[in-house]
Amino acid sequence: MNKKSWFSILFVMMFIFSAFLAGCSYEKPASNNTGSAGSDDGDAGAARDEIKVGLDVDAGTMDPRLSKDTSAKRVSELVYDGLIRLSANLEPEPGLAEKWESPDPTTWVFTLREDVTFHDGEPFTAEDVKYTFDSLIDPDFQAPYASLYEPIKSVEVVDDYQVKFTLKEPSAPLLSYLDIGIVPKHIGEKNDNTLSNNPIGTGPYKMVKWDKNSKISFEANDKYWGGSPKTNKLTYFIIPDNSTRVASLESGDIDIVHSPLSPQDIKRIKENDQFEVIETEGLGFTYLNFNQKHPILSDLKVRQAIAHLVNKEIISSDIYQGMDTPGKSPLIPASWAYDESISGFSYDPAKAAALFKEAGWEDSDGDSILDKDGEKLKITLSTHSEDPNRMQAVEYLQNEFTKNGVETEVKTSEWPTFSTGLTEGNFDIALVGWLNLVDPDRSFYNPFHTNGGSNYGKYSNATVDELIEKGRTTLEQAERKSFYQEAAKIVTEEVAYDVLLYQGYIAMYNKNLKGFTEHPAGSFYGLKDAEITN
């Protein structure tokens, strides 16, 4: 066949194809499951029966017992119910458990709801509760948060709708951790990882499809014991780039986004009256962790002097644009134990200089770096590279410290490298944060107790240990509050941490999304009562 015939065939085929395309119709299918996040939102007039959410990362696993990332939690909140649910001021409220009582400090008896079924139609009973917690405390199950449930000695089924927890010792914070999703025993005990990819819970939404790294689709559970959700379809779209996520909100491709967000974008959206911006106190703080074993930083006066060189107001207003507020102590404002009277260290270079001098550090050779016995005052400030605001903060601090005679080197590395250095105690001062502090025990036991799992700076103080232990085992909230406030005063004064910022939690949504209630933990459970209006 010569070239000319090839051309003729090609031409005829193109003609037929164009004719075919010209003859095609263009209409949106009734059930559009193409994954379109396009801006055409169905028929004009009728409100869309779908809420589109923008998430920053995909969930790692859908099994609530194994999950540790925030996205997995966002799935869990919709698909599963816990025995309890935490209210906006972090008080336990009934969930799958209608009520609970504690006949003695080491026993908890939960009475369960009788009208609950799993998404596959199987009834929910006490056996499922026992199975969930037995697996959580089983060392071979490798649950990331197993340590939270460590006080549980055993879980017994009293009858179908009553379950008894026996504890090794009294544990006040445990109740706050019982919001973890209850998984169905009949599926979980097959041990085939089904729940990791296909969650079956009792929650207001059922997961329909999970396109990894792309989107997670949910459908309303009409039989939900708490009343069927207002909107039938809900989709989480995974949009890793903060700026794209906000642009997608602006273009109407998604309806709601939440922290983490770039401070600059928040400012822009606030000025646009098409959107609602909700700022609440989050459940986390950002802090400088001082290595107490470091030859220079082991001196309390040096730590205090450095704390006086930290201008938290500037970091909050200029780097975080006011999204996160200046921190004071490890007790967060959202907590019932918050103590306003603890003020932390104010920015005061003169006081810092005086403290350095008391500790024997002076600039004897005129190179504007402090020294003592021929040794220069030199420290390394480290953080992780995933968070541009934290990188800016350490650079700002480097400048501030160096200006005041502390030779400061900045070291930023990506999270796995940084966190390995942190756990190995391989750092001088590290800028890092804690999240999800639903109970003060989480802000204190692991970080500050001599035997705490994440006491990276090796801080140790017998009085603090005792206060933290008492806080853990005392059930009366008022008493616990005093223990934690006392401990907070000491660790702040001794600069175990210098709490830089209280993290804010921000949700931004289109004003046509009505009925959504936010939560300091950023819970999306409130989406069950939300709907899109015109």
Partner 1 sequence: MATFIVKRFFQFIPVLLGISILVFFLLHLIPGDPALTLLGQDATKEDLERLRNVLGLNEPLYIQLMVFLKNLFQGDLGISIFQDTPVITLISTHLPATLELAVVAMIIALLIAIPLGIISAVKQFSWLDYGSMFFAQIGVSMPVFWMGLLLIIGFSVNLNILPSFGRGEPLLDAFVQTIQTGNLFYLVDSLQHIILPAFTLGVMSAALITRMVRSAMLEVLKEDYIRTAEAKGVRGIVVIMKHAFRNALIPVVTIVGLQFGNLLGGAIVTETVFAWPGIGRLVITAISQRDFPVVQGCVLMIALIFALINLIVDILYAIINPKIQQG
Note the residues at the interface with partner 1 (CB under 8 A). Answer: 20-21, 23-29, 34-39, 57-58, 60-61, 68, 139-140, 142, 144-148, 193, 196-197, 211-215, 237-241, 243-245, 247-248, 250-253, 386, 413-417, 419-423, 446, 453-454
Beta pairing class for 275-290 and 497-510:
antiparallel
Contact 303, 428 (CB under 8 A): no
Alpha-carbon gap, residue 119 to 79, rounded angstroms? 9
Contact 384, 414 (CB under 8 A): yes
Contact 180, 82 (CB under 8 A): yes
Identify the CA nearest to 173 among candidates 267, 90, 249: 90
Residues 243, 245, 249, 253, CA torsion sign: positive
Taking the complex as a whole, the smallest distance from the CB of residue 70 to partner 1 amounts, in Å, to 12
3-state secondary structure string, 473-524?
HCCCHHHHHHHHHHHHHHHHHCCCEEEEEEEEEEEEEECCEECCCCCCCCCC
DSSP state of 117: B
Taking the complex as a whole, the smallest distance from the CB of residue 191 to partner 1 amounts, in Å, to 12
The smaller minimum CB distance to partner 1, of residues 238 and 331, is found at 238
The smaller minimum CB distance to partner 1, of residues 235 and 485, is found at 235
Contact 73, 67 (CB under 8 A): yes
Tokens, residue 308: 């006086």
The smaller minimum CB distance to partner 1, of residues 197 and 463, is found at 197
Taking the complex as a whole, the smallest distance from the CB of residue 173 to partner 1 amounts, in Å, to 13
Identify the CA nearest to 176 among candidates 335, 339, 338: 335
The smaller minimum CB distance to partner 1, of residues 73 and 481, is found at 73
DSSP state of 70: H
Taking the complex as a whole, the smallest distance from the CB of residue 459 to partner 1 amounts, in Å, to 15
Taking the complex as a whole, the smallest distance from the CB of residue 277 to partner 1 amounts, in Å, to 17
Taking the complex as a whole, the smallest distance from the CB of residue 422 to partner 1 amounts, in Å, to 8
The smaller minimum CB distance to partner 1, of residues 213 and 341, is found at 213
In 3-state terms, what secondary structure has residue 385? coil
The smaller minimum CB distance to partner 1, of residues 57 and 391, is found at 57
The smaller minimum CB distance to partner 1, of residues 274 and 463, is found at 274
Q: Where are the beta strands (DSSP E) in 225-367?
A: 233-238, 256-258, 275-290, 325-326
Q: Does residue 260 have a cis bond before it (omega within 30 degrees)? A: yes
The smaller minimum CB distance to partner 1, of residues 38 and 360, is found at 38
The smaller minimum CB distance to partner 1, of residues 127 and 387, is found at 387
Taking the complex as a whole, the smallest distance from the CB of residue 349 to partner 1 amounts, in Å, to 33
Contact 199, 236 (CB under 8 A): no
Contact 338, 328 (CB under 8 A): no
The smaller minimum CB distance to partner 1, of residues 252 and 515, is found at 252
The smaller minimum CB distance to partner 1, of residues 41 and 407, is found at 41
What DSSP string describes 337-359? Answer: T--TT-------HHHHHHHHHHT
Taking the complex as a whole, the smallest distance from the CB of residue 416 to partner 1 amounts, in Å, to 3
Taking the complex as a whole, the smallest distance from the CB of residue 330 to partner 1 amounts, in Å, to 15
The smaller minimum CB distance to partner 1, of residues 27 and 271, is found at 27
Q: How distant, in Å, are the alpha carbons of 6, 18, 73, 188 from that of 11?
A: 9, 11, 56, 60
Identify the CA nearest to 103 among candidates 149, 146, 158, 176: 158
The smaller minimum CB distance to partner 1, of residues 110 and 237, is found at 237
Alpha-carbon gap, residue 446 to 449, rounded angstroms? 6
Tokens, residue 115: 């009208």
The residues near 342 (Cβ < 8 Å, ≥ 6 apart) are 328, 329, 331, 485, 488, 489, 492
Identify the CA nearest to 80 among candidates 205, 165, 164: 205
